[in-house]
Amino acid sequence: MNPKTIDAIRDLAITFEKTNLQIAYELMSIAYKERPQGPFIYNKFLEYKQKLEAAIENAENAENAENAKLLSLIRSGEVAIIPIGFRCYTSMMLEDKLGLSQASLPFDSGFFSPHSVASVFESPTIALSYADETTHTVCKKFENYNEELKGVGIKFELSSYEEIDNIVSSKNIPNINQFLDSTFGYYTLDKKHKFILAHYNWHAFADDVKSKGVKNPEDNLPLINKMVQARIERMLELCHRAKYIFFVHLNENGNYIKIGDEYFDLTDYSELEACLDSKYDFKYSILNAQDVSAQKMLDTFEKKTNKAIKSDY
């Protein structure tokens, strides 16, 4: 590179050192690469590098301290964080962002619209029965389903055990996840609450460890009822104890769930808000998991409860 060009890059880097250290560092890195023996360029390169590393470390320490404060409030029961779908990724993202690891809750695994969440809060019982077809059915799943008037969503077409078992002749058929989930469970519709369970109602191909050897729906559904019911009761207890509740959703699959001929909006929370207003006296927030941070949650908790957060960190 021409020496004057290197000088220009060096001088340009210096103009950014007070306003944007990242740009200054990147520019000085170019100058240093082209003139590694230059003492001024070398010293500036090291200065910017050390300042950036210190800033990153300080930010990480601050984030860790805020996460610790929030987790302390969760452990004490003052704050409850409830993942409400749309699907399994929500609880995973909360664990990644906040370090939150908690006992499973009812909306952790499956497909839940705001309507189905409200339905569970209004009528918190699960009663799937193999003998009673009015309680449930199994479905076929169509991701990225597109309708001209409604746009992109996810579609579940009502099916039957017999139809799916006939289609799924081996684990290697094309598009098997249209008929069974990634762990070889049926997509199971609760007809009362209008949600789809995944990973629980095991097909014959399911792993024995996950299924515990129970791969007959007639035997499986009572176990699912018991498990989901326990998770609902756990959630209600957390909400009852909490001074403030964060309901967290993540929607990356379009604007609606279509189940049979019914559409359930994934963007309209008015029904759920009306339900929660009456039950929790407005002491809650509904958040998108992508916008979640410990600092935002702590600020909201302090503002909404008028309670200063003591810190031992």
Q: Which of 45, 68, 91 is the last residue of a domain?
A: 68
Note whether 153 and 215 are same-domain residues.
yes
Q: Which of 68, 101, 119 is the last residue of a domain?
A: 68
Q: How far apart are the first and last CA of the chain?
A: 50
Q: Which of 55-59, 122-126, 203-207, 255-259 shows the lowest per-residue confidence on average (mean pLDDT)?
A: 55-59
Whether the CB-CB separation of 70 and 300 falls below 8 Å is answered with: no
Note whether 33 and 151 are same-domain residues.
no
Whether the CB-CB separation of 69 and 298 falls below 8 Å is answered with: yes
Q: Where are the alpha helices (DSSP H) in the chain?
A: 3-16, 21-34, 39-76, 89-98, 114-122, 161-167, 208-211, 217-241, 270-280, 294-305
Q: Is residue 39 part of a domain?
A: yes
Note whether 115 and 163 are same-domain residues.
yes
Q: Is residue 144 part of a domain?
A: yes
- Does residue 308 surpass a pLDDT of 60? no
Note whether 52 and 154 are same-domain residues.
no
**pLDDT at site 40:** 93
Note whether 34 and 148 are same-domain residues.
no
Note whether 177 and 198 are same-domain residues.
yes
**Distance between CA atoms of 97 and 92, rounded to whole angstroms?**
9
**Distance between CA atoms of 91 and 100, rounded to whole angstroms?**
8
Cis peptide leading into residue 247 (ω within 30°): no
**Distance between CA atoms of 81 and 238, rounded to whole angstroms?**
9
Q: Is residue 312 part of a domain?
A: no
**pLDDT at site 96:** 87
Whether the CB-CB separation of 86 and 289 falls below 8 Å is answered with: no
**Distance between CA atoms of 196 and 278, rounded to whole angstroms?**
26
pTM value?
0.78
Q: Is residue 290 part of a domain?
A: yes
Domain count, the chain: 2
- Does residue 313 surpass a pLDDT of 50? no
- Give the mean pLDDT of 23-46: 91
**pLDDT at site 193:** 98
Note whether 100 and 163 are same-domain residues.
yes
**Distance between CA atoms of 192 and 228, rounded to whole angstroms?**
14
Q: Report percent pLDDT > 90 for the chain.
A: 68
Note whether 39 and 160 are same-domain residues.
no
- Give the mean pLDDT of 100-108: 91
**Distance between CA atoms of 169 and 270, rounded to whole angstroms?**
43
Q: Is residue 311 part of a domain?
A: no
- Give the mean pLDDT of 99-111: 91
Encoded tokens for 111: 């497909």
- Does residue 137 surpass a pLDDT of 60? yes
Q: Which of 37, 68, 99 is the last residue of a domain?
A: 68
Note whether 242 and 263 are same-domain residues.
yes
Higher pLDDT, 306 or 63: 306
Mean pLDDT, the chain, whole residue set: 90
Instruction: Classify residue 176 by its DSSP letter.
Output: G
**pLDDT at site 62:** 52
What phi, psi does 283 have (nearest 5°)?
-90, 55
Note whether 106 and 236 are same-domain residues.
yes
**Distance between CA atoms of 154 and 31, rounded to whole angstroms?**
51
Q: Are strands 110-111 and 195-197 parallel, antiparallel or unpaired?
A: antiparallel
Q: Is residue 313 part of a domain?
A: no
- Does residue 61 surpass a pLDDT of 70? no
Note whether 36 and 149 are same-domain residues.
no
Q: Is residue 274 part of a domain?
A: yes
Q: Is residue 95 part of a domain?
A: yes
**Distance between CA atoms of 83 and 198, rounded to whole angstroms?**
16
- Give the mean pLDDT of 163-182: 94
**pLDDT at site 134:** 96
Scan for tokens 């399994």, then name that residue. Answer: 88
Radius of gyration of the chain (CA): 26
**Could you list the residue range(s) of the whole structural domain that residue 11 is in?**
3-68
Higher pLDDT, 120 or 54: 120
Note whether 56 and 101 are same-domain residues.
no
